[in-house]
Amino acid sequence: MSSPVSYTLEGSIGVISVNNPPVNALSQAVRQGIFDAIAEAERDASKVVLILCEGRTFIAGADITEFGKPPAEPWLPEVFDRLEALEKPVVAALHGTALGGGFETALAAHYRCALPSAKIGLPEVKLGLLPGAGGTQRTPRLAGVEAALELMTTGNPIPAGKAFELGLIDKIIDGDLRAGAMAWAEELTGAPVRRSSEQPVPGHDAGIFDAARGLAARKARGQIAPQRIIDCVEAATRTSFQDGAKIEREKFMELMQGEQSAAMRHLFFSERQAAKIDDLPKDTPQRAVETVGIIGGGTMGGGIAMSFANAGIPVTLIEISDEALEHGLAIVDRNYAGSVKRGKLSEDKAGQCRSLITGSTDYADLADVDLVIEAVFEDPELKKQIFARLDAACKPGAILATNTSYQDVNLIAAATKRPEDVIGLHFFSPANIMKLLEVVRAEKTADDVLATCMSLARKIRKVPVMSGVCYGFIGNRMLQPYFREAQLCVIEGATPEQVDNAMESFGMAMGPLRVADLAGIDVGYKARQALPEEMRGDPRSYRVAEVLAEMGRLGQKSGAGFYNYDPETRKHSSAPEVLEIIEREAAAFGIERREIPDEEIVDRLVYGLVNEGMRIVEEGIAQRPGDIDIVYVYGYGFPVTRGGPMHYADAVGIGRVYERVLEFRDRFGAEAWTPAPLLEKLATE
């Protein structure tokens, strides 16, 4: 096989060219190729060495297929040290995205140029890692401590213009990159070799590292990698480059071998896998979606409308009356104003997006749209009526989607004469912010409808996961045992605070009872009322919530739920009156309340998720366990550092999970705690 790296001498310029499609990843062959090219450049007549990449991008990072495997020589730090040691100027010419090891390649060069459209970044933190090939040591020397910390602890890329301002790029090339870079390389003939490793770190505020640690602790709660990045940058200010590089390598290996990075790398691969439908041919055609209709202008409908408008797709929002429509559009206006205020969108961009959303009270205005999404409240009969009207109003080939969180998409599809055009698109609130989209494949959903929606999800910057049809699909179905155990722990002896604090200490973004208060206790109450009694589960697991709902303690929106809320700040505080209700209802059920350890709370809630997740995989509702992890991390606040409930079960050990489930079965009854057959099979075989 030929090397993905070539070296040619063009006049006095030695050109190292990388061609490893699709993204020129730093595989072992690329590393070896660059290493060999450097050796040639050391001994030939070149005056300047230029690094270029073929295809759509500069080196976009490491080769992800090598993640988790023993490192193969040559190691990147070794390659970069030899590159930087060349006694003739080395120029890196960037286009596309120069990320991670790709940008570290450029940092090891002596000069850097880029197209205006290029982006650079050090996103390793998003995999629970740090830049491990000199990035934490070279970046602060070029851009200063503050910029280096921002770049590496957030992992967010920046455009070439910003990188130029920071001193990370030396020249912006307009026009043809190769021609411009060759011309600049000629100009640099005889220029001094300028090694970033030899530059001093610019002056900085002494308190910057403590401030950065506090900020990282708040923004990346529980994550180790941002803190280790800060340690490495601080080392760059206090030690030689060589000593700092040793510290960087030690901390990189510590993270690489740790549970957090393993979990975050699992999510990285799972997100890419979730986008693939196993039984859907790759060449499945897609329908054009250039206009969208939304039924229902409430918080959810408005958020969905914004998701499409933000992607440049015009939206028609349908409401039942002029008053309701005005109210819905006002919600959209407030959301855009908030985005501008928070600096998420410029005023011009917000105005452009908002102009794509129009309103109507007439279904006839949906006659030409390519996709309609129904986003009204969870009333199955109302949804069927709406779909019958859409069937009559929409053109042939229009995709008809329901945003239902629980209902049977097959029954909704049956209300139309074209069930093959019907699909579930379950957005999560607030829909303009939350990344998860459950794409629910009904029995008769056409392949091209499914393929279109999976692709469209990425266009509107969502992470799609396909689910089959069942009550609650993947995410909300798994919530049933999670909330069941949370409320059983409360009635058996824990306080709401203890349950929430235990789960937040585990890493959940918010404890289950605070979530119930945020969503509205009446939501679960109404959903239960719509179910036949035999489907409602153990009455002890919802009795307290039922009493609170009937009292009008609906959560944050009413100022009181499991907690009391300050009307100005919405800050929660414990509610002694709720503890009295809990104790009274426990006595009515004959429950003798006891002290419950935090470990038991966490295990009951998380293993409840895992056990139900095993059933969902076995039934084919989810294609694979990793899909469930993506749903729970992106939709339900499960900690990224745990990798999702299914990965967490693997990390803990399936045998241990199975034993604990058996223990809970013996203590709390087989109805709630019978092990899923797949869990039993994996544990015993």
Active site residue 104: yes
Largest CA distance in the chain: 91
| Separation of alpha carbons 40 and 547, rounded Å | 79
The C-alpha R_g of the chain, in whole angstroms, comes to 28
Q: Which two tokens stand for residue 423?
A: 């699909």
Distance, in Å, from the CA atom of 548 to the CA atom of 650, rounded to the nearest integer, reads 38
Strands 292-295 and 119-121 come out as unpaired
Q: Determine the number of helices (DSSP H) and then strands (DSSP E) in the chain.
A: 29, 19
Reading across the β-sheet that carries 436-440, which strands appear in turn? Answer: 357-360, 315-318, 292-295, 371-374, 399-402, 422-427, 436-440, 463-467
Structure tokens at 211: 């401030």
Contact (CB, 8 A) for 106 and 120: yes
Q: For residue 397, which of 452, 359, 440, 355 has the smallest C-alpha distance? A: 452
- Residues in contact with 397: Cβ distance below 8 Å, sequence separation at least 6, in sequence order: 287, 370, 421
Structure-token pair, residue 314: 């015009």
DSSP-derived pairing of the beta strands 371-374 and 436-440: unpaired
Beta-sheet pairing, 572-573 with 564-565: antiparallel
> What is the Cα–Cα distance from 168 to 122, expressed in whole angstroms?
12
Sign, CA dihedral 406-409-414-416, equals positive
Alpha carbons 47 and 485: distance in angstroms, whole number: 70
Report CA dihedral (356, 362, 368, 369) to the nearest 10 degrees: 50
Long-range contacts of 148-151 (CB under 8 A, 24+ apart): 148/233, 149/208, 149/212, 149/229, 149/230, 149/233, 151/121, 151/122
Q: Are the C-beta atoms of 378 and 405 separated by less than 8 Å?
A: yes
Asked if 52 contacts 178 with a C-beta cutoff of 8 angstroms, the reply is yes
* Of 42, 54, 73, 124, catalytic: 124
Catalytic hit among 54, 66, 104, 595: 104
Residue 124 annotated as catalytic? yes
Provide the 10 A C-beta neighbour count for residue 672.
18
Question: Burial letters for 354-382: b for 16+ Cβ neighbours within 10 Å, e otherwise?
Answer: bebbebeeebebbeebbbbbbbbeeeeee
Q: Where are the alpha helices (DSSP H) in 530-653?
A: 543-551, 576-588, 598-618, 625-636, 645-652
The H or E element that residue 285 is part of is none
Distance CA 185, CA 20 (A): 24
C-alpha dist (Å) from residue 359 to 154, 302, 323:
38, 11, 11
Structural element, H or E, at residue 424: strand 422-427
Contact 292, 358 (CB under 8 A): no
Residues marked as catalytic: 104, 124
